[in-house]
């Protein structure tokens, strides 16, 4: 994607962040795909638009639960607000946000047993060092949603931590507030996903403070930040089919890649399947067409 004529604050594995006047930031979701903390060379068509459109959908769904940092997703409004015309390739991938003082925690909510939580449960019978009922299987629903924080690593992997460790990191009162809001947002989103025939198995949120107020930031309940399963495909004890990037991770595992740079070449058919899965996740869950979101090809 073309670099913009403004100060680049940060270029992450997927998103590029630019500073704009009046204490605002421009966040661009690229089509880059990261797996095992390595960015693939091949972009995934429409991925950035899906992440942005899905975030816009969920922010609208939960706006009465928690405020957010977004000013606009509309390319024309963004152009007016920042005083320059953005390239068309950013349309549908860009969101203008208020600059926030970010909380140094990944706020993960788990409704089902999967991923690293399942690995820990198999090994120790706990999830993030918290006591968990015995006898659960992979893809089993947890008795109630669990708030399971992790660190936010500048490089490498985030680290799962206990609630006590989170309290030591950012303070007990803030952790309790984050947990309550995260579970409330997850519960709302999970119910909406279920009405569309999907299970939101887990997801992660990021929060920050704007003028002293806690707000929801970054992406929300996207295929990059969540596990999204078709409800009809769940068989406890087995890995469910997924409308997120887990199938791509599985493909990487299957070819025997050592998870170290450089990444393997991704065949065109895998790129296409991955793109189709992202688009399907958006359209099936929201009931909307991606062709109606900003940046669609004429």
163: left (phi over 0), alpha (psi -120 to 50) or beta: alpha
Smallest CA-to-CA distance from 67 within 221, 207, 180 is with 207
Model confidence at 4, pLDDT cuts 50, 70, 90, reads confident
Smallest CA-to-CA distance from 187 within 166, 167, 203 is with 203
The pLDDT mean for the chain works out to 95
* pLDDT of residue 156 exceeding 60: no
* Cα gap 9→24, rounded to integer Å: 12
**128-139 in b/e burial notation, b at 16+ Cβ within 10 A?**
beeebeeebebb
At 169 the pLDDT is 95
Q: Could you tell me the two tokens for 260?
A: 């170290």
Separation of first and last alpha carbons in the chain: 19
Upstream peptide bond of 262 is cis (omega within 30 degrees of 0):
yes
Mean per-residue pLDDT, 116-137: 96
Model confidence at 131, pLDDT cuts 50, 70, 90, reads very high
Other residues' Cβ atoms within 10 Å of the Cβ of residue 232? 10
Residue identified by tokens 């449960």 is 121
Cα within 13 Å of Cα(117), Cβ side: 30
Model confidence at 298, pLDDT cuts 50, 70, 90, reads low
Element of type H or E holding 251 = helix 246-254
Which tens digits make up the pLDDT trace of 70-123?
999 999 999 999 999 999 999 999 999 999 999 999 999 999 999 999 999 999
Residue identified by tokens 């399907």 is 280
Could you tell me the residue ranges of all domains in the chain? 102-245
Smallest CA-to-CA distance from 229 within 280, 183, 172 is with 280
**Considering only the top CATH level, what class is 102-245?**
alpha beta
* Cα gap 142→126, rounded to integer Å: 12
Q: Could you tell me the two tokens for 189?
A: 């989103």
Q: Is the pTM of this model over 0.85?
A: yes
Residues 68, 181 contacting (CB under 8 angstroms): no
Count Cβ atoms within 10 A of the Cβ of residue 149 and give its class: 0-12 exposed, 13-18 middle, 19 or more buried.
buried
Q: Could you tell me the two tokens for 113?
A: 């047993």
At 297 the pLDDT is 84
Which tens digits make up the pLDDT trace of 186-217?
999 999 999 999 999 999 999 999 999 999 99
């Amino acid at each position: 994607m073309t670099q913009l004529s403004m100060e680049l604050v940060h270029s992450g594995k997927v998103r590029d962040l630019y500073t704009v006047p009046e204490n605002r930031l421009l966040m661009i979701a690229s089509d880059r795909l990261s797996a095992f903390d390595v960015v693939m060379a091949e972009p995934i068509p429409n991925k950035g638009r899906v992440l942005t459109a899905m975030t816009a959908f969920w922010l609208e769904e939960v706006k009465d639960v928690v405020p957010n940092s977004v000013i606009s997703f509309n390319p024309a409004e963004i152009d007016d607000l920042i005083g320059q015309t953005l390239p068309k390739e950013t349309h549908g991938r860009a969101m203008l946000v208020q600059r926030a003082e970010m909380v140094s925690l990944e706020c993960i909510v788990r409704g089902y047993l999967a991923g690293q939580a399942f690995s820990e449960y198999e090994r120790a019978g706990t999830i993030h060092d918290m006591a968990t009922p015995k006898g659960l299987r992979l893809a089993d629903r947890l008795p109630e949603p669990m708030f399971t924080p992790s660190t936010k690593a500048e490089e490498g992997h985030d680290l799962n931590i206990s609630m006590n460790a989170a309290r030591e990191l950012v303070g007990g009162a803030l952790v309790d507030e984050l947990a309550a809001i995260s579970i409330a947002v997850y519960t709302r989103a999970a119910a909406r996903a279920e009405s569309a025939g999907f299970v939101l198995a887990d997801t992660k949120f990021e929060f920050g403070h704007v003028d002293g107020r806690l707000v929801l930031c970054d992406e929300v309940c996207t295929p990059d930040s969540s596990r999204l399963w078709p409800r009809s495909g769940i068989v406890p004890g087995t890995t469910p089919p997924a409308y997120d990037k887990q199938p791509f991770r599985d493909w990487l595992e299957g070819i025997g890649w050592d998870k170290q740079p450089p990444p393997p070449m991704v065949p065109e058919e895998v790129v296409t399947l991955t793109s189709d899965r992202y688009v399907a996740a958006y359209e099936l869950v929201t009931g909307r067409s991606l062709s109606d979101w900003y940046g669609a090809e004429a």
